[in-house]
Amino acid sequence: MKALTLRSQLVLPVLVSLLAVAITGCGGGGPKVVEISGTVTRGGQPVKDLSINFIPEKGRTSWGFSDPEGHYTLHYTRDQDGACVGKHKVFVSYDPRPSDPGEEFEMMEGRFEIPADIKAIEEKYGDEATTPLEFDIRKSQTIDLQLD
């Protein structure tokens, strides 16, 4: 009887593991992630130094940063670019980065001075709850963000 109980204790975890594999299937089991990149503009001009966040209805947030030409590429993890398939809300925030490792930022009272046009962008697109930007991602694509 003790041997049967011990066998049951060993078999149960194996059966549970096999069932989990059968339910999720082979080959990853995670969300489908597709490559997303684009350009951020305001008034037809590129906007640099923005943190771009794509927040899906379900799953992990993807993020990117706009370079001096306004270009961004989304990252799903440190090792994987893209965003998961589905509907996303998009918000941005000012995140200045030195182009030179030795470059220093001008500070005012211990804070970055935010340009007026960036303040206007953040007022409209800087809050996940109120941003009007929404995208339904189904495939790898270019998503240009016109922040006018």
Judged against a pLDDT cut of 50, whether residue 23 lies above it is answered with no
Beta-carbon contacts of 31 under 8 Å, excluding residues fewer than 6 positions away, are 58, 59, 60, 84, 85, 86
How many beta carbons lie within 10 A of that of residue 35, not counting itself? 15
Beta-carbon contacts of 63 under 8 Å, excluding residues fewer than 6 positions away, are 51, 52, 53, 54, 74, 75
Lowest mean pLDDT: which of 27-31, 45-49, 54-58, 140-144? 27-31
Domain boundaries, the chain: 33-146
pLDDT tens string 75-107: 999 999 999 999 999 999 999 876 655 555 554
**Calpha distance 25→74 (Å, rounded):** 27
Cβ atoms of residues 78 and 72 within 8 Å? no
pLDDT tens string 100-133: 555 555 544 455 678 899 999 999 999 999 999 9
pLDDT of residue 97: 75
Cβ atoms of residues 68 and 48 within 8 Å? yes
In which band, very low, low, confident or very high, does the pLDDT at 9 lie, cut at 50, 70 and 90?
Answer: low
The fourth-level CATH superfamily of domain 33-146 is Carboxypeptidase-like, regulatory domain (2.60.40.1120)
Q: Residue type for 23, please?
A: I
Cβ atoms of residues 95 and 65 within 8 Å? yes
Judged against a pLDDT cut of 80, whether residue 22 lies above it is answered with no
Kindly provide the residue ranges of all beta strands, DSSP E only, lying in 26-121, ordered along the sequence.
Answer: 33-34, 36-42, 45-46, 50-56, 62-65, 71-73, 83-84, 86-94, 107-108, 111-112
